[in-house]
Structure 1
Amino acid sequence: MIALRGATTIENNSITDIKDASIELFSQILKKNNIKLQKIISIEISCTKDITKAYPGKFIREYFKLDKVAIMHFNEMEVEENLKGFIPLCIRFLLLVDEDIDKKEFVYLNNAKKLRIDLLNE
């Protein structure tokens, strides 16, 4: 089993932005890691507290027809020492997948690239 991470940001707290960004991020994670949908065990999604218009997992479940996949949402922690580097309107995914691949590729899009600058040089 492997765990795959990814994050993105949205421009506005709107249903359309949440839907489009979530589908884009999920698609990129699948594509870059060559993951088949039936191999996904569960998806954990966290959002910053300024995302309130919709659940990203709802759009992922509907768009990719993931009726049998466990999807859970959480609010992202706000740790005092990190508030200076806080990235607003951020959606993060953690996928647990029944695969064994040599090189995992995490996906960070838009302003979320700041979360993992170390991965930009790979």
Structure 2
Amino acid sequence: MKCLRCGHETSKSYKVDFDGVEKEIAYCQKCLMDVLKESVPLKNTPSPSEDSMEKKRHLSFDGEMVIFVETPLRILEEMFGKLWSDQEKENFENERKITFLERKLKEAIKNEDYRKANRLKQLILQIKNKTVK
């Protein structure tokens, strides 16, 4: 292969992930050193693993919670008008949240993620305490 920078023949090629597409590139030793000097230092670029770890720490189910808890209630209200009083609606939402979180709790226990399971138990208890019957 030819060097991408200077055009000289090189025996080394590198497979890189470029925006999700694997590409094969070739640089001679001199050009490779120049490219590495000009590039952004790795310590300044966030790694995907750090981002995903940060998301997992917060234990947020907001997106899923909206889909499984709030959206069905909104659809019912759009179709049939106001079906419940505000208190009944809140209780119904809380019941759906508890069901959703209990499913997540079973998953966490199955995956042996006991920290997550403990946090989910706390959330379930908080919601149960808020529910007025």
> What TM-score, normalized by structure 2, do the two folds share?
0.25
Instruction: Considering fraction of residues, name the structure with more strand.
Output: 1
For the pair shown, which has the larger CA radius of gyration, 1 or 2? 2
> What TM-score, normalized by structure 1, do the two folds share?
0.27
